[in-house]
Amino acid sequence: MFRVRRVLPALLFAAVPLYALAAPDFDRDAWRADYATLKQALERDYANLAWIGSTQSGVDLPALDRQTQRALDSAENDAQAEQAIRDFVAGFHDGHFSFLTTLQAGAAAAEPPSVDLTAADAASGCAALGVGAGGHPGFSLPFESLPGFKLLSDGMDQPLRTGLLTTPQGPRVGLLRLPEFAPTAYLGLCRQVWQQLRSEDSADDMRDALMDALADAVATALQGFAAAKTDLVLVDVGNDPGGNDSGDVLTRLFTTRPVHSAPLLVSQSPAGTAYLDEQLHRLTGALQEHHPDPASRRLLRQSIAAFQQSRRSAGDAPCDLSWTWSERRDWNAMPCRRLVEAGSSGGPLDYLPADAIADMTIVHRLNWAQDVRAHWGAWTGPVYVLTDAKTYSSAEMFAARMHDNGIARTVGVGTGGDGCGFMVASPPTTLPHSRLRLRMPNCVRLRADGSDEVAGIAPDLPVLPQSGESDRARAWRLLQTVGADWRTRHGGG
């Protein structure tokens, strides 16, 4: 009897549900309601939900949902409940679907007076534009430390980091580093062209002009490689977080062949509708206000008709995606994905010849790559694109377009898997109880095989880190891998 008296209290304690032991101010039902709100928002607004719910995505969404519900059921305090929702979001493996800073209640501070950047010197002006705030100019692997490497441009005081490297019995390699597809990463370039930038009307115009200067710098580097008789170019977008649409635009500099942008889809949501309306406004304005010639008028009308049809589709009753929490379906067999067509990742038209339309104002409304058409085909030889697990977003778009258009082979490690992010700004989802704020992608870029780019870009030539191997050794092994592939495919030797 003595032993039984000792055991019974423990058994009784174990029989009490965990939620009965929670902190007295912990409201489990409110957290469950937050989770339900999040799932409803995903069904309504998240562009990648159908893909994530597919058998091809690699994510078991029903299992993730069950895991989250169990975690909320067993949570004993707010911290544990919040972690359950954070783990749920992490399980999507979509970097664009992410948390934003939780905001404090209160009146927003007034906007301070604007600053006239046209009077600033290069250092101050570039700093005010945010240039130098991100990006690492060095290569993602230490090619600079390898024998046979010659630095051509450092990417700090000079616009880009570039170099030449010749290995024994190997090709002569031109190395080009693109740390970001955004103007804020290129401080040396900004300072170099500041006198031109300061003539622009606004800070946004200055950043646009800086992107034009980046295209000029990339073209100049590629032309330098050609003049130096390099056998191939290795473009390093490892550890590149992405940026803007230049991940699509700059691909044209590496070939004279036609380059097609990815099919673009937007969510059947207010954000998707806003993007369609924005493009319709731009296309209609070009047709009505810029006196297009007959060929331009025909292309504008075709694009307007396509976007009007998408706009009508966006207004249809949306299909139900609640099945994603209970089953997985084949992406290719889905009758509805709650997405609408929105042209391409390079504008309403996925391709236009460089000489199709002379008027730059009009042609930019149709195909954004036309902005750099003077530099198309700056390099025409073999190209390899180096990626790693920290290659994201616009950098993935670059790698995917280079691969899917047959311009380049990819080498290294599979990318992080952000895919398309945001074609327009949209308000975040705020959960009512916890006040957690999340952003949700409103667009999808499709690969050549029809898959969602959010799955990441697998390398043609995997060069994975190995136990005990230094970064220098892996850089050397990667170059040997590229050299062997180049000899096989292009007859080098």
How many Å from the N-terminal Cα to the C-terminal Cα in the chain?
A: 88
pLDDT at 311: 98
Number of other residues whose CB lies within 10 A of the CB of residue 11: 9
Q: What tokens appear for 277 in the block?
A: 């309306």
pTM summary value: 0.93
Note whether 393 and 273 are within 8 A (CB).
no
- Per-residue pLDDT of 105-123, as tens digits, reads 777 888 899 888 988 999 9
Q: How far is it, in rounded angstroms, from Cα 337 to Cα 323? A: 12
Sign, CA torsion 45/102/397/182: positive
Work out the number of other CB atoms within 10 angstroms of the CB of residue 235.
Answer: 25
pLDDT at 105: 77
Q: What is the pLDDT of residue 492?
A: 65
Contact of 423 with 389, CB cutoff 8 Å: no
d(CA 430, CA 437): 4
Measured in degrees and rounded to the nearest 5, phi and psi for residue 411 equal -145, 145
Long-range Cβ contact pairs of 311-318 (< 8 A, separation 24 or more): 311/273, 311/276, 311/277, 311/280, 313/268, 313/340, 313/341, 314/266, 314/268, 314/272, 314/273, 314/276, 314/340, 315/273, 316/268, 318/44, 318/268
How far is 37 from 32, CA to CA, in rounded Å? Answer: 9
Residue type, 373: R
Determine the Cα–Cα distance for residues 488 and 24; give it in Å rounded to an integer: 69
Per-residue pLDDT of the chain (493 residues; tens, 9 = 90+): 333 333 334 433 344 444 445 677 999 999 999 999 999 999 999 999 999 999 999 999 999 999 999 999 999 999 999 999 999 999 999 999 999 999 887 778 888 998 889 889 999 999 999 998 666 789 999 999 999 999 999 998 899 999 999 887 789 999 999 999 998 899 999 999 999 999 999 999 999 999 999 999 999 999 999 999 999 999 999 999 999 999 999 999 999 999 999 999 999 999 999 999 999 999 999 999 999 999 999 999 999 999 999 999 999 999 999 999 999 999 999 999 999 999 999 999 999 999 999 999 999 999 999 999 999 999 999 999 999 999 999 999 999 999 999 999 999 999 999 999 999 999 999 999 999 999 999 999 999 999 999 999 999 999 999 999 999 999 999 999 999 999 999 986 5
Structural domains in the chain, sorted by start: 24-99 (no CATH), 129-490 (3.90.226.10)
Confidence (pLDDT) at 41: 99
The arrangement of strands across the sheet holding 339-344 comes to 339-344, 263-267, 443-445
Which residues are paired to 385 by β-bridges?
235, 410
pLDDT for the residue numbered 4: 36
The answer to whether the CB of 84 falls within 8 A of the CB of 68 is: yes
Beta partners for residue 438, in sequence order? 99, 429
CA 428 to chain centre: 18
Q: pLDDT tens across 357-393, in order?
A: 999 999 999 999 999 999 999 999 999 999 999 999 9
Name the DSSP letter for residue 197.
H
